[in-house]
Amino acid sequence: MRLTVDHVTRYSYDHPVRSVVQSHRLAPANHAGQKVIEWEVTVSGGTKGSRHRDGAGDLIQAWTVAGPVTEVVVQVRGTVETEDLAGVLRGHRETVAPDCYLRDTLPTRLDVALIALADSATAADTLSLAHALSAVVSDAIAYRPGVTHAHTTAAEALALGEGVCQDHAHALIACARHRGIAARYVSGYLSANEDGSAHEAAHAWAELYIPGLGWVGFDPANRCCPDARYIRLGSGFDAQDAAPIRGIARGGGHEDMDVTVAILQAAQ
Amino acid sequence: MSQFNEMFQGADVRPPYARLQDWVGQMPQELRSLKQAEAEALFRRIGITFAVYGEGGDPDRLIPFDMFPRVFSGSEWAKLERGIKQRARALNAFLVDVYGRGEIIRAGRIPARLVYQNEAYEKAVAGFVPPKGVYSHIVGVDIVRTGPDDFFVLEDNCRTPSGVSYMLESREIMMRMFPDLFRENRIEPVDTYSDKLRRTLSSVAPAKCKGDPTVVILTPGHFNSASYEHSLLADLMGVELVEGQDLFVDGEYAYMRTTEGPQRVDVIYRRIDDAYLDPLCFRPDSMLGIPGLMDVYRSGGVSICSAPGAGVADDKAVYTYVPDMVRFYLGEEPILQNVPTWQCGKPDDLGHVLDKLPELVVKEVHGSGGYGMLVGPKATKDEIERFRAKLIEDPGNYIAQPTLALSTVPTFVEEGVAPRHVDLRPYCLVGERIELVPGGLTRVALKEGSLVVNSSQGGGVKDTWVLAE
């Protein structure tokens, strides 16, 4: 499937800021399930900084913007050819040992309810267990935007019983790690179905490490594994660690952020 | 417990201390008091004080200085030097390995969990090899002695070992107060440390750096207990002392603000923790860090010493495996021994530790500075029972070691001269070359019988001599 992405993030400041530094995980890396046809990221008034591929195989690009500015616009435009590999991440070059992702972080820390949820899944092998865990998380947390926020933890979302893709991913990661499966957060894009049923074009899901298969994606928010509608940008321990844009503005006031994302399936 | 006295064997004076016997014998009591007061005044004047955490009181408390030197013969030192350098090489090989293919883990020589789930393991630098393959550029190895030829490593400090300013200032003060001693004894100099440190740091400049590298020391600021040391080292090396706000990232490089405009920085000797280096990579709430620094580092625009992630090698649980690292990476037998260590996270070890608690020293895996530890033989029944409860609750957080009979060195005390327990921290420099200044920081437990030498727990310092052969 050929997907085109148009993703604009607009930061506005109520006072001019002296400088802005950003670290982007905004360029998809090629792997068996996705091939980048064209891709361009621009930052208004920005200078491209260093670029490297990190140990997890993500392309990291730094940007700096010299102030004073009151607005910074990050624009992503590109086209990716995708293929449905049933969630399996194949041909992705990385060096980080999967065991690293057994460590918890604040948003994925366990509590009694998460442990009970994780223990409620039963299966004969690791792959089936991963599917079962994803299913119990989907059942326990209903999709509902606006009730959780960027710093909501997996435990809090489970207590609410509602949340968005970030909460589903955190909860699945916490449950998987509790069952001894290395798990990580993935950020990317999702193209909506023709009936518009899929949620959140700027999307997030989890990858679990299955011996013999490697990393396999699970999207509890949509009760499926990533397929040709998904574009993978990068991964991390949690949402913050895997964020497509991490940035800091020096010497300014309040920051507002506005995001628009459109993912289109190109006509064949 | 028989204790090795480094000066006396029975009634005989061991050769390295021969001349000190006359020196102390001929020193009248009044002169001694005078000199001690002079030493304190000198320390006070140069401003070398030590803030004691968690004790309240005077944050500018003077660290006690004892005038009686600690002496090694040239041959004693030669063995120590070989052992320390060997350890520093193995620790760096380990770091390059665990951020690369992890061969030592694949070979089953060290458990994956200890490395990859360690809080000090930085996923962000996996796959990156710093210049010259060095992660830990200054390795502080804490060593204790129990006999003429028996040295044990207590712990390794691979991040930012402090205390080298005491080594330098103790020597300076001794030379000022007792110039005769330095004429009568052939004592190896330690004041070459700053040149060697500068050379080490310059030797790991990034490949992109052309010409003479610009080195800076990054300090958390003057509220830090080691801030005196940071400014002393900057002065001695002739480099700038900067705080996070003095540095910024632009394009592919890091710069410092100067009165003549931005100047590119090639090597950062940081004295702050990984978590505070870059809010875009680590703690987002860090006000100390430099946004974007890690991206510049990872793409080879600047070197950071010690390299982010170096801390995974000096964890107390990883310590147990350092002798294995020496064998695995260097194919050599370790010259310096570890103290036998029980890992309380292992059920068998825990059982043994709980049985023998009154005889053991128990430490927190991630603790430092002598806090949160139990010295069994010195503890009350109550303290032991309270510690037992902590151990049972979270065994993986503790290691235990036998109480060693630390060697003693004569020390000036109220009643005259008496033996007090000491340890040693030499500073091994690792860059293009591996170098060790002949000397180090000798810490002394000033309380009679005490085995805790940490300056934060009332320990003092001594000048450490290595005699030329």
pLDDT for B315 = 86
Provide the CATH topology of domain B207-301: Rossmann fold (3.40.50)
Q: Which residues of B touch A23 (CB under 8 A)?
A: 280-281, 292, 294-295
Q: According to CATH, where is 2.60.40.2250 located in chain A?
A: 2-81+245-265
pLDDT digits (tens, 9 = 90+) for B377-418: 888 999 999 999 999 999 988 989 998 889 999 999 888 899
- CA nearest B100 in A: which residue? A95
Closest listed residue to residue B406, CA positions, set B457, B355, B361, B373: B361
List CB contacts of A247: < 8 A, sequence separation 6 or more: A11, A20, A21, A22, A23, B280, B291
What's the mean pLDDT in A221-231? 95
Contact between A239 and A61 under an 8 Å Cβ cutoff? The reply is no
Provide the CATH topology of domain B340-402: Dna Ligase; domain 1 (3.30.1490)
Q: Looking at domain A84-236, which of 3.90.79.10, 3.10.620.30, 3.30.530.20, 3.40.109.10 is its CATH number?
A: 3.10.620.30
Q: Give residue limits of the domains in chain B.
A: 8-206+302-334+405-466, 207-301, 340-402
The answer to whether ipTM exceeds 0.90 is: yes
- CA nearest B118 in A: which residue? A103
B44 band by pLDDT with thresholds 50, 70 and 90: confident
Query: Taking CB atoms and an 8 Å limit, are B126 and A48 in contact across chains?
Result: no
Tell which of A63, A100, A235 to mutate to test the B interface (max B CBs under 10 Å): A100
List CB contacts of B12: < 8 A, sequence separation 6 or more: none
- CA nearest B281 in A: which residue? A241
pLDDT for B41 = 85
- A105 has pLDDT over 50: yes
Question: CA of B281, closest CA in chain A: separation in Å?
Answer: 8
Residue B117 has its nearest CB partner, among A51, A55, A102, at A102
For domain A2-81+245-265, the CATH class is mainly beta
Q: According to CATH, where is 3.10.620.30 located in chain A?
A: 84-236
Beta-strand pair B253-256/B263-265: antiparallel
Q: What is the mean pLDDT of chain A?
A: 94
Query: Taking CB atoms and an 8 Å limit, are B280 and A240 in contact across chains?
Result: no
Question: CA of B213, closest CA in chain A: separation in Å?
Answer: 19
B301 touches chain A (CB under 8 A): yes
pLDDT for B61 = 64
- CA nearest A97 in B: which residue? B116
B49 band by pLDDT with thresholds 50, 70 and 90: low
